[in-house]
Amino acid sequence: MAELRLATCAAAAAAAAAVAVHLCLLLSPSSSLRGLSESSTVRHGSYRTAYHFQPAKNWQNDPNGPMYYKGVYHLFYQYNPHNASWDKGNLSWGHTVSVDLVNWSAIDNALDPDSPFDSNGCWSGSATFLPDGTPVFLYTGIDASSEQVQNVAFPKNASDPLLREWVKPSYNPVIPLPGDVLSRNFRDPSTAWLGREGLWRVAVSAGFMDGTGSTLVYRSKDFRSWERNAEPLYESASAGMVECPDLFPVEKPGVQNGLDLLAPSDAAARHVLKLSVMATHQDYYVVGRYDDVADTFALAGADNDCRTWHRFDYGHVYASKSFYDAGKKRRVLWSWANESDPVQDYVARGWAGVQTVPRKIWLDGDGKQLLQWPIEEIETLRKARVGLLGAEVNAGGMNEIIGVAATQADVEVVFEVPALDGAENLETNQLLDPQRLCGENGASVRGAVGPFGLLVLASVDLQEHTSVFFRVFRHTDDGKYKVLMCTDLRRSTKRTDVYKPPYGGFVDIDIQKERSISLRTLVCFSSLTHIQQIQIIICTKNSNDIICSCNRLTTRW
């Protein structure tokens, strides 16, 4: 049986210098993280997560319409109130509230499929604030004819900070299915925004009959009558259907403050466009320029195939949605992490799906990619400390971290790499598929510089464990060193009916200069979140790059 056991490890060749490790675990009791009250929480085994929001029972997926309203954080999400699987019963919008984005209280469903325009499901959408501060939903309804249409809903009592009741006008749908779009591929309206002439815009995902995936823009003066823009925000035949569009402005490079989508737009401002690709079940984003006159998006040199763009995450994560937190002037990202085990296991335990740890995101100093970090409120959950300072891990060595008694931990570790001699060569084509490279060069495959990292959630005999590790290569074209970060789930469980791939990506770090890598890992029952940064000063968060991965594996116990 796997436990919350951690060890630092190295499988480097004997010729390489030892890796020095500075590690601090900050342990958190699950009772402070659960969020739901004991009376409403249904426990289905110890594999329920704690850092990650999940309802008391049943299925959840995409985050919808997150917002900060009258001092309260709201998270809405795709929810099946009838079952722990996606396709047994039509979806609703679940609703939960918090004052700190960490501890959550359940509210009755915000939307249920009870009208002709959404009788087969209330699917994903977003929240927008009208000029008077009233929130409004735009969401996809599956109507009585099983066509995907776009609807609106308003709070019954806008003075209620908990927004407990919502009203759907009878004039829905406000955007019917276009004649050139497949009935099953028209969904996920974004947060709306105002143009300088006062017209509202909203982006909606669409799949055309020829297989082209598109993100359409609609305009409206009253949030009721909408007209389609001549040009799409994005379109590609290569990637196929894309979902859950998210468009938002970002501050100047390196500035961590977020920007409200409704704020006046500077023509020189950068925007981020995020899309979720059905074919790969991954999220991709690009930094570019939004033209608020033509309602088009310039990719700033990026490929039109969004699968070549940056990724928020290299794990089992999808359908991300950000919102502007006016309370702390930051942009916060939510994502859905789905399960890896068979559907019958969902039903047996009574729940499926979690939301990832909320992350603050901002534009890197190079202006080309986003940085991210768990929201600062997560650190309020730290209760006890276990340390390992200055230990060395030699080739094939392992140091078990003693004193871990909690069911989850916030792990901060710095690996010092004093020598890069003999780093393995890396060809250019290998840069294109880091996940494959992680699979071919796992934690047990020795290299010249690495692998070194952590073994977490390990059984006593190490037959089951999840490895989080780094390897350093030398690129044959330019001689520069490349750092590969991997999370390998292949030995996380002995079960064969579980999806457990390796994940990985290259980290943009000058390891020759810095000679150290800092890693933060949130260990939460069956879920791991890894965040890497360049450590300029030990125990600070000054960084040039952060890469995250959230991997879900719920069948380990």
**356 closest CA partner among 129, 18, 16, 52:** 52
Count of Cβ atoms closer than 10 Å to residue 388 Cβ: 19
Rounded distance between C-alpha atoms, residue 323 and residue 191, angstroms: 9
Rounded distance between C-alpha atoms, residue 467 and residue 460, angstroms: 15
Rounded distance between C-alpha atoms, residue 156 and residue 168, angstroms: 9
SS3 165: coil
Over 410-446, what HEC string results? EEEEEEECCCCCCCEEECHHHHCCHHHHHHHCCCCCC
Rounded distance between C-alpha atoms, residue 470 and residue 438, angstroms: 9
b (16+ CB within 10 A) / e for 51-72 = bbbbbbbbbbbbbbbbbbbeeb
Among candidate residues 62, 292, 325, 488, the one labeled active-site is: 62
Structure tokens at 227: 């007209």
Q: Where are the beta strands (DSSP E) in 280-436?
A: 282-291, 296-298, 317-325, 330-337, 351-352, 354-355, 359-363, 370-374, 384-393, 398-400, 408-416, 424-426
DSSP state of 358: P
- Would residue 143 show up in a list of annotated catalytic residues for this protein? no
Rounded distance between C-alpha atoms, residue 540 and residue 327, angstroms: 24
Structure tokens at 239: 């990637």
What is each CA distance from 82 to 60, 85, 196, in whole angstroms? 11, 9, 44
Q: Where are the beta strands (DSSP E) in 195-305?
A: 200-208, 213-220, 227-228, 234-236, 242-250, 270-277, 282-291, 296-298
SS3 308: helix
Show which residues are catalytic.
Answer: 62
